[in-house]
Amino acid sequence: MTDERTNPTTVDAIVVGAGLAGLYATHRLHSMGLSIQCFEAGSGVGGTWFWNRYPGARCDVESLDYSFSFSPELQKEWRWTERYATQSEILLYLEHVAGRYALHQHYSFSTRIVSAHLDESSLLWTVASEDGRTWTARFVIFATGPLSTSNIPAIEGLGEFSGRILHTGQWPREEVDFAGLRVAVIGTGSSGIQAIPQIAQKARHLFVFQRTPNFSIPARNFAWDGEALDEALGSYDTRRALSLASKAGTPHPSSPTRTFDVNDEEREALFEAAWERGGATFSKTFADQLVDPAANQYAVDFVHRKILSIVEDPEVAKKLLPIDHAIGAKRICVDIGYFETYNRDNVTLVDLNATPIETIEKTGIRTTAAFYEVDDIVLATGFDALTGTLNRIDIRGRRGQLLRDVWADGPRTFLGLAVAGFPNLFIVNGPGSPSVLANMVLTAEQHVDWIANAIAYLSSSGFAGIEANVDAQDAWGDHVSATAAGTIIGKGHSWYTGANIPGKSPVFMPYVGGLDVYRTRCDELAASDYGGFTLLDAATSQGVTDSS
Ligand code: N01
């Protein structure tokens, strides 16, 4: 047996991550005949859906769309049970996919990758795991997920708490029973808003510690009945074609109607219809909703009225009104019974704006106004998004430069999938790509296909490597920023800009331009012999073409 500490195993490509992006990369690269070695920090496949097992966890992209499109057979054989799939159903699906394509065999599970170093002369990467084993490969694909490093807030005394502390993004595999317990939830983003109604049904008392109220739209979830599902499965081709031609990677087109094209009554009726339809497509009620602040204010006012009508205690309702950001500036939330939960006798909303947390003590949480004795604390406090996971890995490219240093003032990437100075290293759903602003299954497939085609091209053309050009990368970064500047997306305190992590450079990270525009750009570059990239010669690792 090879000892990887002294004699690294060499393969064509290494894939880091067994979420949906890593699984597809593994399948695709193996199908091309490459030798591969794949790693996953968790003990099983699933990525986000392996870790985020908190009660109420679901995807807010409809199940039919949040699934792989690469195989018509796979697409037809899996029968989703609900409009929005639960975490457990998505995990089952990903386990099914891994089994169907025999992907487990390529993975080393419970293996955290801690470094990836480039040897410039050979253009090979050496990747090391936490336990000191190493592997060498020409290509490294980081499919580590944009929301995979939990944000544990630096609240004084957190370590002193004697009860359970649970982060939504690192939920235990065994069932967590809240029956008869007093539970605190800190955080009211998508995770908190999903977990709160579920925990409230189990706990003796639930205290919700809210710093920023959030916009949330009812999911209007439903169970698929057999016939309706058959019909939907029968029109999958159309559904996928619409998704690929859309901005968000879903088959629901934006309305062409603008807010001021209609009178007050018509506007209200269109908002009402969107509210009744449910889900994140509420943001598409009017064409100018995410662009024009005056238009957005109408949507804000509509949701405020809804919250005031659902929550019975007017004082509590007022505290739940998001007033510091436009709707859609932060990721819109989708819920099942969130605002209704505040009508329960066993739920208390603690407004941290009025009474901030001072300390956490052995038995509870002390704010400036009161002490809340609790048995469990649930941190629904989000993630060090988009860059957090990669910045925690010692990734060294040309001249030993560290990726996290290159990204000190915010991530710089070309298309969100490559970085100048880091040849043959690819990121799936990285900063600068549509990723978190679109259906991440389709964006992952698009990235992986692009990477796989690039590798095939290098191989058939006799090149050993591909590297993003600095000028193309800079131009892309400017384009990402300029596109975001024309919208209200990101104009709020959120993980989109890293504002949720103390000390992180405030840069809007995802690409707002849309999956449709982005795909076209990627395809054009590939068709022009990888314009914006330098193709590298095997012997010298020097560029032999510079297509920028
Ligand atoms: O995290 P978040 P999330 N004291 O960052 C609060 C995806 N996702 O896990 O806003 C008190 O949105 C923080 O308060 P504030 C989705 O893309 C998808 O909920 O900073 N509070 C905020 O309320 C989503 O956007 C799905 O003032 C503190 C909350 O914690 C992304 O993941 C489901 C605090 C964090 O909200 C992240 O969502 C779940 C402190 N010290 C997640 N620190 C679906 O598909 C932070 N907070 C449905």
SS3 assignment for 82-151:
ECCCEHHHHHHHHHHHHHHCCCHHHEECCCCEEEEEEECCCCEEEEEECCCCEEEEEEEEECCCCCCCEC
Q: Are residues 209 and 76 in the same domain?
A: no
Give me the CATH number covering residue 390. Answer: 3.50.50.60
State pTM to two decimals. Answer: 0.96
Q: Are residues 400 and 505 in the same domain?
A: yes
The string of pLDDT tens digits covering residues 421-478 is 999 999 999 999 999 999 999 999 999 999 999 999 999 999 999 999 999 999 999 9
Ligand 1 neighbourhood includes 212 CB (under 6 angstroms): yes
Distance 214 CA to ligand 1 centre (A): 10
Q: Are residues 160 and 19 in the same domain?
A: no
8 A C-beta contact, residue 39 and residue 107: yes
Q: Are residues 345 and 394 in the same domain?
A: no
Ligand 1 neighbourhood includes 495 CB (under 6 angstroms): yes
The CA distance from 222 to 245, in Å, is 26
What pLDDT sits at residue 345? 98
Q: Are residues 142 and 161 in the same domain?
A: no
Ligand 1 neighbourhood includes 211 CB (under 6 angstroms): yes
Q: Are residues 268 and 393 in the same domain?
A: no
Distance 151 CA to ligand 1 centre (A): 9
Q: Are residues 439 and 495 in the same domain?
A: yes
- Checking if the pLDDT of 8 tops 90, the result is no
8 A C-beta contact, residue 203 and residue 181: yes
The total number of structural domains that make up the chain: 3
> Which whole-number Å values give the CA distances from 259 to 288, 302, 489, 501, in the listed order?
7, 13, 17, 35
User: Within a domain: residue 233?
Assistant: no
User: Within a domain: residue 354?
Assistant: yes
Nearest CA to ligand 1 atom 35: 381
Q: Are residues 129 and 76 in the same domain?
A: yes
Ligand 1 neighbourhood includes 96 CB (under 6 angstroms): no
The CA distance from 74 to 214, in Å, is 37
Looking at this protein, which amino acid is placed at residue 487?
T
The string of pLDDT tens digits covering residues 40-63 is 999 999 999 999 999 999 999 999
Q: Are residues 406 and 540 in the same domain?
A: yes
**Residue 41 — left, alpha, or beta (φ > 0 → left; ψ -120 to 50 → alpha)?**
alpha
Stretch 11-35: mean pLDDT, rounded? 98
Tell me whether strands 357-361 and 364-367 are parallel, antiparallel or unpaired. antiparallel
Distance 380 CA to ligand 1 centre (A): 6
Q: Are residues 459 and 480 in the same domain?
A: yes
User: Within a domain: residue 60?
Assistant: yes
Owning domain of residue 171:
152-215+333-380
Q: Are residues 357 and 412 in the same domain?
A: no
Ligand 1 neighbourhood includes 59 CB (under 6 angstroms): yes
The string of pLDDT tens digits covering residues 191-239 is 999 999 999 999 999 999 999 999 999 999 999 999 999 999 999 999 9
Q: Quick one: which atom of ligand 1 is closest to the CA of 495? A: 5
| Pocket perturbation via mutation, ligand 1, pick of 59, 167, 191, 365 by most ligand atoms within 8 A of CB | 191
H or E segment and range at residue 480: helix 470-485
Ligand 1 neighbourhood includes 29 CB (under 6 angstroms): no
Nearest CA to ligand 1 atom 25: 331
